[in-house]
Amino acid sequence: MEVKDYSIEKVFDLISDLKNLESINEVNPSNLVKAMQFLTYQEDEDNFKQVVDEYVALAERTIEKSDVKENPRGFLEYLCAGVDRSFTMVGYSAYLGKKVEPGQFQSFFRNLYGTHF
């Protein structure tokens, strides 16, 4: 699979942005997800880790207190699950006390970082 209109150059731009942003609120979640998806389909573990690690570092240095700061990897895994199975399904399953089976995107994340969500 591929992520339409996405490239490794855009991933590098995102990584650079994550290093220089002053607020987690400045991160475009769509770009974050597209970068992580692109790297998953490319099976590019090194750059995937760099995106995740830079996002986590940004969260830790810019957020006073929030759920994202307490568990930024959990938030990223939630994004992966939502893309794999739809956010509605993930939310409804959680409401029912169930977990959905991880798809390709969430599985790639878990292989690198374990379970955080």
pLDDT, position 10: 95
Q: Would the pLDDT of 21 be above 80?
A: yes
∠ at Cα 44 (37, 3), nearest 5°?
Answer: 30
- For residues 73 and 60, give the distance between their C-alpha atoms in angstroms, rounded to a whole number: 11
29-88 confidence digits (pLDDT tens):
899 999 999 999 999 999 999 999 999 999 888 876 555 667 889 889 989 999 898 888
Q: Is 74 domain-assigned? A: yes
Block residue for tokens 């991880």: 102
Q: What is the pLDDT of residue 24?
A: 84
- Domain encompassing residue 71: 10-113
- Residue 41 Ramachandran class (φ > 0 left, ψ -120 to 50 alpha, else beta): alpha
- Count of structural domains within the chain: 1
Q: Does a structural domain hold residue 2? A: no
Tokens standing for residue 68: 């994202």
Number of Cα atoms under 13 Å in the Cβ half of residue 94: 11
User: Is 3 domain-assigned?
Assistant: no
pTM of the model: 0.84
Establish if 95 belongs to a structural domain: yes
